[in-house]
């Protein structure tokens, strides 16, 4: 079939909406009409840094309606509302023990440019157009393996749900699936973008009585307070380590670092109390830390977390249940754009004007 998709032809080029041929679905795949798709920083990385082959259709927070299922698919049917998440093999030890976010084929399946059978579904003038995250949701339709497709309730606005498949589950899952703060413990969240704000909402659900929000934009700190932060500090205006330690009786039990900025990573370690645990979820360049003083001497630990250590088919329906119960108002992060305005949506994400742009298809 012919679809309209935003093609990235070469590294760093703007998105260009063009007609593309989409084939399939194969036996374990489904064809989805995309209703809306989130814009994530990792799409900008895919566009600008050459992490995947070009030409490519990016997009990895797609939500839509199943139009067709492959012959082996029994769990999903045409008409189902679905969210797509990251691709994983479903067979390695990490997938089998409930940690598909560290699937041994994660990089190949999400950044390798192809589906799990190493072929592409998108073509233009006889050339393969590469796949991103096993979905390529920046198009009117997409093919995905049934494994990374999550069926969702029909009584919520489907256009809102795409970001649950990546950015939002990353923040919320880091708190609820990985750190699991005990009731009454404190947490600091560095960076109040979509990931950090989702971590803050999750910390409130977990019952943390002190939730510290750190950012350099007052408007984001205001939103953080609205979503559950009990303290909010602007890192450009105050010494955040000093403020957190003073307000939390010597440091927080937990931290979530979303910025990937080395001095902020250090702050996040320094503002932990002894035995505190920091989850690193921002892509961080090579940097040095004082392992003895910042970790060992006070029994602190630092862990990396991808996609909130989520099993999307379990966790996304849980997040939707929290949303329906009024406990996880992630819609406050979202601003809708028409698909045609994709380049503007990326600019607004980069400048910080919009926390989470979501592209809607007409």
| Residue 283 CB, nearest approach to ligand CXF (Å) | 5
Beta carbon nearer to ligand CXF, 21 or 102 = 102
**CA distance to 116, 214, 230, 263, per residue, from 236 (Å):** 45, 10, 19, 12
- Cβ-in-10-Å burial (0-12, 13-18, 19+) of 157 comes to exposed
Q: Is 120 in the site for ligand CXF (CB under 6 A)?
A: no
Number of chain positions touching ligand CXF (CB under 6 A): 6
Task: Give 122 or 306: the residue with its C-beta nearer to ligand CXF.
Answer: 306
Sign of CA dihedral 9, 15, 16, 21: positive
Quick check: 303 binds ligand CXF (CB under 6 A)?
A: no
Q: Which residue in the set 7, 40, 152, 229 belongs to the binding site for ligand CXF (CB under 6 A)?
A: 40
Residues found in the chain: 362
- Between 283 and 321, name the residue whose CB sits nearer to ligand CXF: 283
CA pair distance 174, 93, nearest whole angstrom: 21
Least CB distance from residue 231 to ligand CXF, whole Å?
27
Pick 194 or 227: Cβ nearer ligand CXF? 194
Residue closer to ligand CXF, measured from CB, 56 or 271: 56
The interface with ligand CXF within residues 41-60 (CB under 6 A) comprises 42
Show Cβ contacts of residue 48 under 8 Å, excluding neighbours closer than 6 positions: 11, 12
| Shortest reach from residue 149's CB to ligand CXF, in Å | 17
Phi and psi angles of residue 187, each rounded to the nearest 5 degrees, phi first: -145, 145
Integer CA distances (angstroms), 152 to 33, 47, 349, in order: 15, 29, 26
Quick check: 110 and 128 in contact, CB under 8 A?
no
**Under rule CB under 6 A, residue 257 binds ligand CXF:** no
Q: Taking the complex as a whole, how short is the minimal distance between the CB of residue 237 and ligand CXF, in angstroms? A: 29
Asked if 303 contacts 279 with a C-beta cutoff of 8 angstroms, the reply is yes
- Secondary element (H or E) of residue 204: helix 194-206
Minimum CB–partner distance for residue 267 and ligand CXF (Å) = 21
In angstroms, give the least distance from the CB of 166 to ligand CXF.
Answer: 5
Closer residue to ligand CXF, CB minimum distance, 42 or 277: 42
Is 166 a binding residue for ligand CXF by CB under 6 A? The answer is yes
Distance (Å, rounded) from C-alpha 167 to C-alpha 307? 7
Are 285 and 260 within 8 A, CB to CB?
A: yes
Q: Which is nearer to ligand CXF, 31 or 278 (CB)?
A: 278
Closest to ligand CXF by CB, 40 vs 342, is 40
Distant-in-sequence contacts of 240-245, Cβ < 8 A, 24+ apart: 240/214, 240/267, 240/271, 241/267, 241/270, 241/271, 244/188, 244/212, 244/271, 245/271
- Nearer Cβ to ligand CXF, position 43 or 294? 43
The residue whose Cβ lies closest to ligand CXF is 42
In whole angstroms, how close is the CB of 65 to ligand CXF at the nearest point? Answer: 24
13 vs 79: CA distance, rounded Å: 35
Report, in Å, the least distance between residue 332 CB and ligand CXF: 21
| Of the residues 244, 307, 337, 345, which one makes contact with ligand CXF according to CB under 6 A | 307
Tokens of 298: 């006070």
The contacts of residue 75 (CB under 8 Å, 6+ apart) are 146, 151
- Decide: is 306 part of the binding site for ligand CXF (CB under 6 A): yes
> Residue numbers of the site for ligand CXF (CB under 6 A)?
40, 42, 166, 283, 306-307
């Amino acid at each position: 079939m012919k679809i309209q998709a935003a093609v990235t032809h070469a590294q760093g080029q703007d998105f260009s909406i063009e007609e593309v041929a989409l084939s399939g679905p194969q036996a374990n795949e489904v064809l989805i009409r995309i209703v809306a798709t989130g814009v994530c920083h990792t799409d900008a990385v895919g566009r600008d840094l050459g992490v995947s082959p070009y030409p490519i259709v990016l997009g990895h927070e797609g939500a839509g309606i199943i139009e067709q299922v492959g012959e082996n698919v029994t769990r999903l049917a045409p008409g189902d509302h679905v969210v797509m998440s990251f691709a994983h093999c479903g067979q390695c030890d990490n997938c089998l023990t409930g940690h598909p976010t560290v699937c041994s084929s994660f990089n190949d399946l999400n950044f390798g440019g192809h589906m799990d059978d190493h072929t592409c579904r998108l073509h233009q003038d006889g050339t393969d157009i590469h796949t991103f995250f096993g979905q390529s949701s920046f198009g009117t339709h997409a093919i995905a393996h049934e494994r990374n497709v999550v069926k969702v309730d029909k009584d919520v606005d489907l256009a809102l749900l795409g970001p649950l498949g990546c950015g939002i589950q990353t923040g919320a899952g880091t708190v609820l699936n990985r750190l699991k703060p005990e009731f009454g413990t404190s947490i600091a969240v560095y960076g109040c973008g979509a990931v950090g704000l989702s971590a803050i909402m999750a910390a409130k659900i977990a019952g943390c009585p002190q939730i510290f929000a750190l950012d350099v934009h007052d408007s984001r700190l205001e939103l953080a307070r609205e979503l559950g932060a009990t303290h909010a500090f602007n890192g450009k205006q105050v010494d955040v380590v000093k403020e957190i330690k003073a307000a939390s009786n010597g440091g927080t039990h937990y931290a979530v670092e979303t910025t990937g900025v080395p001095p902020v990573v250090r702050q996040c370690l320094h503002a932990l109390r002894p035995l505190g645990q920091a989850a690193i979820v921002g892509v961080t360049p090579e940097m040095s830390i004082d392992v003895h003083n910042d970790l060992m001497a006070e029994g602190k630990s630092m862990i990396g977390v991808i996609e909130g250590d989520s099993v999307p088919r379990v966790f996304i329906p849980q997040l939707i249940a929290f949303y329906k119960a009024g406990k996880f108002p992630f819609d406050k992060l979202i601003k809708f754009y028409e698909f045609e305005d994709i380049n503007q949506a990326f600019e607004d994400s980069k400048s910080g004007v919009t926390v989470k742009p979501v592209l809607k298809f007409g």
